[in-house]
Amino acid sequence: MPQPAGQHTVRRHNCALVLDAIADSPGLSRAGVAARTGLTKATVSTLVDRLAAASLVREQGPQHRAGPGRRGTSLSLSPEGPHGLGVEIAVDHVATCLVDLTGEVRWSAVSPSANRAQPAGRVLTRVAKAVRTALGEAAARDVTVGGVGVAVPGLVEASTGLLRRAPNLGWRDVDVPAELRRRTGLEAEVLVGNEANLAALAELRAGGHDGLRDFVHVSGEIGIGAGIVLDGELYHGTRGFGGELGHFPVSSRGPLCSCGARGCLERLAGQDAILGRAGAADLPTLLDRLEDGDRKAAAAVRAAARPLGTALSSVLNLLDVPAVVLGGTYARLFPWLGEPLRAELTGRVLSAPWQPIGVLRSPLGTEAAVRGAATAAVHTIVADPDTFIADGVLP
């Protein structure tokens, strides 16, 4: 239901506006923020003081600039501010990390853990231990943890936070936040998200694709996961199940898939399909051969570009998104996959003739999902600092 607005709403909005400006160009002065946001210097001063009191913003020495006039004090997101704690529950490991407000990773850890087909309770106990370690690390650095994000390989229902299905883990209807809170005594917010979606979020905030606010992130791993970013926000659909791309039907008579259909993208352009066609045992082998100029290997990668391009062109036509970011395995295959894919897309996307399509490589490695989870946690603070301050300081 829509909420009524009052003066507090105004302050909330402007507080976020100011913090966003500072996050966007660190080193800005109060006057600079005022010029950029359209607020007056007086208002900016008040709001910056508030943000600094909550240690979200840090004042640094005076700016360096030529010409006359007093120097402004540089403002930037405080590295001592609240941190985000990211957790990834994967099939074969549990990863954790701490990021500061700027999105910088300040600490991270990975512990191997055979989670496939384990009871959820046992795995979550292990996860809780990893979380406690991370919390200890945060305490040692004397920073508070402002929020926790958990990336899981499955369908997460947005309204409840329930993990509805996780085929690779064999889980159903697990309330990850509640379980985790119960096992750790955690007080901060815990949010859960699909691993591929959170990886896309990491790409948005830390991928370095300057100004790119709309794209589809595709990460080829065992399956094919996708995350859709629209207008600088992760799109996750009515219930949170958005972005499923792996079972896109690209061929009416392809191999049978575990989902029951034929010709799913996953079966035709997934890692296993490429390895199989190239006759390589694993990814390192394939990469070695590609580096050596092996024709068969290159052909196998090019062959994957076709179904991938077919599926992605549909997505691009549907959503009118101007770019695709390739992550996971695809990022490593980028030198061989990028061009064929671009060609495929250019031929199929209706707006391509006058609006070229970006095919970009993800600079983030396999840690994209954890990072996305942690970033999502801090982002709730950065996106609405005033609420965070009001909730965290007064009561």
* Secondary structure of residue 135 in the 3-state scheme: helix
Q: Does residue 97 touch a second copy according to CB under 8 A?
A: no
Nearer to DNA, 8 or 296 (CB): 8
Q: Provide the strand spans (E) within 30-144.
A: 57-62, 73-77, 83-89, 93-99, 105-112
Cβ(248)–Cβ(314) below 8 Å: yes
> At closest approach, how far in Å is the CB of 88 from DNA?
38
By beta-carbon proximity to DNA, the closer residue of 30 and 58 is 30
Assigned token pair, 80? 């001592």
CB of 82 to DNA, least distance (A): 21
Smallest distance from the beta carbon of 13 to a second copy, in angstroms?
A: 4
Q: Which residue in the set 84, 153, 243, 385 belongs to the binding site for a second copy (CB under 8 A)?
A: 243
> 4-43: which residues touch DNA (CB under 7 A)?
4-8, 10-11, 14-15, 29-32, 38-43
The residue (of 231 and 282) whose beta carbon lies closer to a second copy is 231
- What's the DSSP call for residue 28? B
Per partner kind, with CB cut-offs from 5 to 8 A, the member of DNA, a second copy, none near residue 106 is none
Q: Which stretch binds a second copy (CB under 8 A): 68-76, 108-116, 249-257, 290-298?
A: 249-257
Q: Are 109 and 138 in contact (CB under 8 A)?
A: no
To a second copy, the closest distance from the beta carbon of 346 in angstroms equals 12
CA–CA distance, 395 with 393 (Å, rounded to integer): 6
Q: From the centroid of its chain, how far is CA 35?
A: 31
Instruction: Out of 1, 2, 24, 70, point to the residue binding DNA (CB under 7 A).
Output: 70
211 belongs to the binding site for DNA (CB under 7 A) = no
Taking CB under 7 A as the binding criterion, the range among 71-79, 214-222, 239-247, 350-358 that sits at the site for DNA is 71-79
Q: Which residues lie below 8 Å from residue 114, measured CB to CB, with a gap of 6+?
A: 92
| Partner from a second copy, DNA, none contacting 42, C-beta within 5 to 8 A by type | DNA
Q: Which of a second copy, DNA, none interacts with 354 (beta carbon under 5 to 8 A by kind)?
A: a second copy
Any residues with CB less than 8 A from the CB of 149 and at least 6 apart, and which?
Answer: 84, 85, 86, 87, 190, 191, 192, 193, 198, 372, 373, 374, 375, 376, 377
- Is 70:28 a contact under the CB 8 Å cutoff? no
Residue 234's nearest CA partner among 276, 269, 198 is 198
- Closest distance between DNA and the C-beta of residue 22, in Å? 12
Contact flag: residue 53 with DNA (CB under 7 A): no
